[in-house]
């Protein structure tokens, strides 16, 4: 991400899976199909903000523990909390 952030001008997408999995407050995990994918949203957002990005962040939710709308709301809440803490 650090390598391509200087070229990002208009949009970033936050793809999230399941929250509250035990990995940590700002971690989202996908454990479908025998694979594990863990995303550290705090680390990712530090990279995005550190690159000077201040545009929109779209949200995609592909988790299975919450409905699409609940997953989007959870992701939005995490992004807002992190943005406030990192400002």
Return the pLDDT at 20.
93
For 7-21, give the DSSP string. G--SEEEEEE-BS-S
How buried is 51 (Cβ within 10 angstroms: 0-12 exposed, 13-18 middle, 19+ buried)? middle
Q: Name the domain count of the chain.
A: 1
Return the pLDDT at 15.
95
Confidence (pTM): 0.88
* Domain span holding position 42: 5-86
User: pLDDT tens-digit profile of 41-84?
Assistant: 999 999 999 988 888 999 999 999 999 999 999 999 999 999 99
User: pLDDT tens-digit profile of 8-28?
Assistant: 888 899 999 999 999 999 999
Given the DSSP bridges, would you call strands 37-40 and 27-30 parallel, antiparallel or unpaired?
Answer: antiparallel
């Amino acid at each position: 991400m650090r390598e391509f952030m200087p070229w990002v001008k208009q949009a970033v997408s936050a793809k999230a899976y399941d929250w509250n999995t035990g990995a940590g407050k700002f971690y989202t995990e996908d454990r479908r199909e025998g694979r594990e994918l863990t995303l550290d949203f705090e680390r990712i957002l530090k990279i995005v903000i550190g690159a000077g990005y201040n545009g929109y962040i779209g949200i995609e939710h592909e988790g299975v523990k919450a409905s699409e709308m609940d997953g989007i709301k959870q992701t939005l809440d995490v992004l807002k909390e992190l943005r406030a803490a990192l400002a």
